[in-house]
Structure 1
């Protein structure tokens, strides 16, 4: 591939990541806002997840923009620190959503119905798979495992949107309010899993990097 073609693909990758970050920030604001109005821990948790996903996207934006500016070793070292910070954030938010979901189930703190929340989830269900597909194609074209991994996180957000839509829809259509904190617990599993995967990935790559000098 020519240098011009590769540069064009990198610009496309940056555009996709900027779009992801911008969408997630907007999604977080409206989700947390409407979630607070409706007392919906599922919608609030979905918004908090969007914040962390936007942070993860910012890490990848930085990674793509550093192409040719710093050494590969320095780039990887800074990225691993950022990934660990994102992982800790996933754990912290997971603990908060877990506590709130269990508390609301125990004291029967029923949320209001939220049509805006259902619209948010449905929109995400359309946008996220399309973004994920473009990221996979671009990541493979430029040989970026980081972008390919990020595309999987974007696709996971679509599955999370399905759970949110089911929970909010059950409350809206059938008055089954317990579905909201139950979906909150599903989001907790997702948050903890993402935190663990991120932490493990950073630790494994750091371990592999330290072993390289010994094998030469």
Structure 2
């Protein structure tokens, strides 16, 4: 059976191979035609190729186990790769603008071999459509931000290739070569938008933004399932590092409970959360009720679960996070 890491590495290699052939083809045809639109697509694919190498290296490093220097693992290599890939896309857009804007003021230039250019764009769109879907599917399945980012790069390439294809067709039908730099500029704008979206998503993880509300809801649902075995919980914190999730919280329990019973409860909660969410590590800090007086000072202990008459904690506020 193929492991998750092997599946990720396999699809990352596929991206490198496809981008190598597409970049070479676009560049050769674009230079022979003198088309800014096709050359801009070659630049875009060239940076996609570099991004594919970065994704490949990030996936390989993120799969390494935790060590002395990285006690939380290497998951954020993938998030860092996503940011680098987004910056590379932004650089590609700047290169396209540098080429296209002067041609726009000059009124365009004569373009030759429109059929070859249209053919290359059609093949590029078809190949990238298939590869991008595969990358995004595997990226979501394995929760790999680097693969998802690489997939979105290629999906952007699908749209831009189709844009250049339509532009070349319009030039063939109308003879207006000014459409070539216009298409190049539109391609650049689409690339800028894609890059900012990728940067925003990856920066959230790098800055330890909480898990999505849906995932935190799953955690709270598991805790609620065992609410009759503890007083309340608080200080719930969540974050993500690449494909890995980290959860920690404080659990207030009756002070008279044996440590073995409390430990068993924590293990059960941790196991159930790990069964609901992939690649998650849960850490629970237990507090006896007398050490949580500031939190529980306004409530009283339910007699049916209390083991001592003098206990002053209550089950009210179990859902307090």
Q: Give the equivalent residue in structure 2 for 1:23.
A: 18
**Structure 2 counterpart SS, 1:43:** helix
Which residue is equivalent to 2:45? 50
* Cα shift at 1:106: 0.9
| TM-score when normalising by structure 2 | 0.57
After superposition, give the CA deviation of every residue in 1:73-111 in whole Å (9 maximum; x if it has no partner). Answer: 563444444444333332333222113212111112314
Aligned mates of 2:148, 2:77 — CA distance in 1: 19
After superposition, the C-alpha distances for 1:112-167 in whole angstroms (9 at most, x for unaligned) are 13322211111122212222332343334333344334333322221212101001
Instruction: Structure 2: give runs of 5+ residues left out of the alignment.
Output: 211-236, 240-245, 250-321
Question: Whose strand proportion is higher, 1 or 2?
Answer: 2
2:57 aligns with: 62
Following superposition, the deviation at residue 53 of structure 1 comes to 1.4
In structure 1, stretches of 5+ residues that fail to align are none
CA–CA separation in structure 1 for the residues paired with 2:109 and 2:48: 28
Return 28-37 or 9-18, whichever deviates more.
9-18
- What SS is found at the alignment partner of 1:199? helix
Query: What is the root-mean-square deviation in Å for CA atoms of aligned residues?
Result: 2.8
How many angstroms apart in 2 are the aligned matches of 1:74 and 1:32? 40
- Give the number of the structure whose residues are more often helix, by fraction: 1
The TM-score, its normalising length taken from structure 1, stands at: 0.81
Q: Which whole-Å deviations, capped at 9, do the CAs of 1:186-207 have from their partners, x for residues lacking one?
A: 1111221233223323322211
Bigger mean CA offset, 49-58 vs 178-187: 49-58
Q: Look at both structures and tell me which one has the larger radius of gyration over its CA atoms.
A: 2
Distance change in 2, residues 1:97/1:136 (3 Å)? closer
Stretch deviating more after TM superposition (194-203 or 32-41): 194-203
